[in-house]
Amino acid sequence: MLKINGKTIVTEKYPNNETKVKDFIGELETNEDLLELKYETDEDLIALMFTKKRLDEMDRKTKLFIWYMPYSRMDREIAGDLFTLKYVCDFISTLNFEQVTVMEPHSHKTVDLFREFGVNVRDIYPVKDWVYEVMDDINFKPNDHIVYPDKGAKDRYADIALPNLLTFDKKRNPETGQIEGIELEDGTVNQDSSCIIIDDLCSRGGTFMGVGKTLKENGAKNVSLLVAHCEDAIFDGGILKEDSPIDMVYTSNSILTGTHPGIKTLTLRGR
């Protein structure tokens, strides 16, 4: 889905599934435009190209806000796979936006690639603010914990001062790369504590369930999960079931399209 200055750009399909973008130029009220990309399918990338080309025809200055960076998990070269994040960054760079803002990129590689392609890019991390909202919501006490589910999350949020940190790590098979276990690497769980796991992305939630299970086995009474992005795949996993070790999920609507009593949606302020 695309929005321009807060208004959804209307797209349709031809019978052969080609993308049709309805013209929007006559509805624009300012000289500088903010285009928002909320990635749902690859069709959004085609619509992004058509939309920017139309804006270029009118000599309009446009910035791009990317709620979730498409293909951001494909952030390194792996034998047998295409380095698709690199190609998507390259494609967006050719559209020549005045600025590109990425919300919670999965790794630094997204920003690095954009810069390699000459893009004026900035990255924002609203989880660093949202964590305090969640702490207020659960009535966070001195005995409670903030939890990093892996070292990647620890590195991502290392520049904010958070109390009673616990850090987990994933144990992978060196040959297959598959996760074989999740272990508490740093810290001790306080008894009867409430814990907030923070990270950038939740899919089906298996890793977070493993972390939550370990926390509760070691004495935690309540476990919440805070992620910037949450895929609709969360509804297919066990994280929202009654026997889940995760009591509440906090996230944005950057990708998520469904609702559930076990999910609280957070608001992004500013772009």
Digit-coded pLDDT (tens) for 65-79: 999 999 998 888 888
Range of the domain at 81: 2-124
What is the chain's percent helix, strand, coil content, to nearest 5? 25, 30, 45
CATH number at residue 200: 3.40.50.2020
The proportion of the chain whose per-residue pLDDT surpasses 70, expressed as a percent, equals: 96
* Residues 105 and 137 placed together within one structural domain of the fold: no
Choose one of 124, 159, 194: the last residue of a domain.
Answer: 124
Order of strands, sheet of 2-4, starting from the edge strand that comes earlier in the sequence = 7-8, 2-4, 32-37, 61-66, 99-103, 121-124
Is residue 147 located within the same domain as residue 193? yes
Answer whether residue 27 is part of any domain.
yes
Domain boundary (95, 124, 153) is at 124
* Stronger pLDDT, 123 or 80, i.e. the higher one: 123
Same domain, 76 and 149: no
Asked, for residue 134, whether it belongs to a domain, the answer is yes
Distance (Å, whole) CA 183 – CA 169 = 6
Name the pTM for this structure.
0.89
Average pLDDT over residues 108-122: 96
* 66 part of a folded domain: yes
Q: What confidence score (pLDDT) does residue 174 get?
A: 61
| Mean pLDDT confidence for 244-253 | 96
Single residue among 124, 158, 175 that ends a domain in this structure: 124
Q: How far is Cα of residue 120 from the mean position of the Cα atoms in its chain?
A: 20
Residues 150 and 260 in one domain: yes
Q: Are residues 131 and 117 in the same domain?
A: no
Statement to judge: residues 78 and 116 lie in one domain? yes
Query: What confidence tier does 29 reach under pLDDT thresholds 50, 70, 90?
Result: confident
Domain identity same for 255 and 131: yes
Average pLDDT over residues 217-231: 96
Does the pLDDT of residue 175 top 90, yes or no? no
The pLDDT of residue 237 is: 87
Whether 244 and 145 share a structural domain: yes
Q: How confident is the model at residue 102 (pLDDT cuts 50, 70, 90)?
A: very high
What residues contact 30, with CB distance under 8 A and at least 6 apart?
A: 5
Q: Is the pLDDT of residue 177 over 90?
A: no
Task: Specify whether 163 is located in the same domain as 250.
Answer: yes
pLDDT surpassing 70 at residue 192? yes
Same domain? 133 vs 261: yes
- Compute the average pLDDT of residues 91-106: 96
Query: Strand pairing partners for 170?
Result: 182
pLDDT band at 15 (very low <50, low <70, confident <90, very high): very high
105 and 145, same domain (yes or no) = no
* Mean pLDDT value across residues 121-148: 96
What integer pLDDT is reported at residue 87 of this predicted model? Answer: 96
Q: Per the domain annotation, does 271 fall within a domain? A: no
